[in-house]
Amino acid sequence: MDAQHVLIVDDDASVRLTLERALRREGYVLATAATGRAALHMLTEASYDLLLLDLHLGDVTGLQILHAARQQDEDMAVIILTGHGSLETAVEALRLGAFDYLFKPTLPDVLRQRVQAGLRKRQRAVQRRQILAQIDALRQALSQLDEEENAPLPVMANGRFLRSGPLVIDRRHRVVTLHGNLLDLTTTEFDLLVCLVEEAPNPLSAQELLRRALKLEAAATEARETVKWHIHHLRRKVEPDPAHPRFIKTVRYKGYFWSSQ
């Protein structure tokens, strides 16, 4: 199982350090943010399994960050960090979908136990969502086969399904399967993959991928760095061996292309 990613958001450096120390030995990939704006930026740049969130940050409220986290990943576990005077707001955060709240200062053993519980709940929610999506995708595929007996899944550029070798993309439901296994892709990863498969076997430059998948314009150097980071994470979910890509190939000076071989 891949290491689980935890983002700690607190404007008190000593609190951040204490939380890091308590969780470091658990094998989590830890990241920290000292301000609300930094946290909002980090939530758009990377995926996190759990968020440890202070409610009072000054520039942005904890509830605003909670809302942004829910928009980014509705299954992300969020644990609120609060002082005694913040109980009412903490309860409101629970109503909005936070997993739990902890009073400061929190005992390390209590923190670790609640983080583990939050991550278990997230894992169950993700698995349930994946199973339901796979069932729906199979149901839709069976319905398609009933309507078009002995016909393959449509692969036209404007069709619902896009297939390349063992990969099947359902654009209507934004579901991707590889060798029959459902892939857990972010919105950006899904859009990048669709662009690559649609254009295969022709390579796409980083600037073109950024323009088509993320609807962003950037200079060549910035585009390469941004797309490289997303391709790295996409390969981890698609490739049997990410260090030796089979599907998403790099063409020097030209960009990336999808290969179904």
Domain residue ranges in the chain: 5-123, 152-258
pLDDT bucket at 213, cuts 50 / 70 / 90:
confident
| CATH code, 152-258 | 1.10.10.10
Instruction: Quote the pLDDT of residue 130.
Output: 84
Fold of 5-123: Rossmann fold (3.40.50)
Rounded CA gap, 155 and 169, in Å?
9
Mean pLDDT of 86-91: 68
* Sequence letter at residue 146: D
Q: pLDDT tens, 13-32?
A: 999 999 999 998 898 999 99
Strands 175-178 and 181-182: antiparallel
Cβ proximity of 180 and 138 under 8 Å: no
Segment 142-166, tens digit of pLDDT: 777 666 544 444 444 457 888 888 8
From the list 196, 181, 200, 179, the residue with the least C-alpha distance to 234 is: 196
CA distance 21 to 34: 16
